[in-house]
Chain A
Amino acid sequence: MKWFDICSLDEINPLGARIVAGPKGDIAVFRTADDQVFALDDRCPHKGGPLSQGIVFGKQVACPLHNWQINLDSGEAVAPDVGCAHRHEARIENGRVLLSLNSQTGG
């Protein structure tokens, strides 16, 4: 598993996100209020909206285009909507945010 040190935790706002340009498209890296980080392809399963631009709350993000709610930990849309955004691994180590691409799912 290859890990990339993408930025320090401070460089992502709490309840915010950053865009990481990956080899196969943008990845959104989210930070929750309790300082957990999650990474998803920056494409809403609905109409491809950039999830990184949505409002983050709890462990969810609301897509800025049509307000689909996506679970950050699974990438799954909240019912009754159905769909899934591709997930990548992200974690925090010594105040740095590490990202590992999941090649199975694009990224």
Chain B
Amino acid sequence: MISSGSLPRVLHGSEGRPLSLAQHEEVFIAGTPFNVMHELEHSGLTGRGGAAFPTFRKVDLLRLQRGHNKSVVVNVMEGEPAAHKEFALAGANPHLILEGAQVLAGLIGAKRILVCVARDNPTVVNHLSRAIHELERRSLRGAKIELHTPPWRYVAGEESALVHWLNDNESLPQYRPERPSILRVGHSPVLVDNAETCANVALIARFGAEWFRKLGTVQSPGSTLVSLTGAVERSTVLEVSLGTPIRDILAAGHADMAPQALLLGGFGGTWLHGQHIDTPYANEHLGAHGASVGAGVMAVLPREACGVYETLRIVRWMANESARQCGPCAFGLPALAEDLTSITHSSKDPKAAYERLQSRCDSIEGRGACRHPDGVIRLVRSALIVFAEDIAQHIVGRPCTGTQRPKHTITIPSLEHEDELIWE
């Protein structure tokens, strides 16, 4: 029973198998009904998909739109390969996600809920489709829930790419010049929200904003899911209160307590130097080091590993995952990977490659339709700062031994065509 302001919240009650509808209703006994919009506004909930946009503002914007066939899209795509928090959530409390989606549908006046899960993960698809069937058997009133399974790509989890897939069967991010802009499925406006955000909305609707704010900080209230990978005993997903010092999170996940650096946010996030592990895990504190919570990824880099090499591997993979709609991203990211290769392996004038890398970062930034290249640039720039000493060594031709380790720290899905980065 969730009444006190303690953890776990969205991961409550799970023991490895997803909760059935009966168990779900028993665990999350409803509190007093609230004015949900009011509670949502006062809770200060922000999106848990990476952008941290205030959920209330998004819902408010959609509520004012005209459209007789509005929908809510639940994003369970888990675009970040290093993260597995959506899957953990779907494997624990799928009904919480669906309930949150129903609440949002009620708020904006939507008649449909489109749950989008990557088809490459049949377990999660199964969990969610079972949960949807249970709801259908109960024939509860509410929006109609549909399950969609787009193919998994990095950009497929981006909200405009997801909507484009729903419309035209291709996961391509769209150009959105006006902010705020409304996404549409067909001609009707659509609200796209992350699965964890939906789960938090369900909890807020049941227990209120006061309860929600019992955890977290004033500026970053509530709890969040963290995917801990890298130099850890076992990759885990932890639910933490925002504002917890990172050191405590590492301890709870049995991670390397003296890491060289941490990758925060995701492959499009930032490196945080190991000396800052006492920083509270919240955007207002991480911002001072140029980092952010992002998609909840925390990858631990041990001292023996080579940070530049790990960055190189990530950048190469991200370059291959580009949708290649925009020139600066399609050609710029592989060029960044090339320069990083020159630096890491000290081949072909690494000093010039280093200069070129910085000017290319300045040149490419902000010129894509989506924020994919910006994420890669953010990662590269943070690597140049955090691993500055290591890079200096690489440039003069004394690379560290980290490049020869047999098993790399950060797991990267295999490149489809390793040797043909972008040409067809």
Is B one of A's binding partners? no
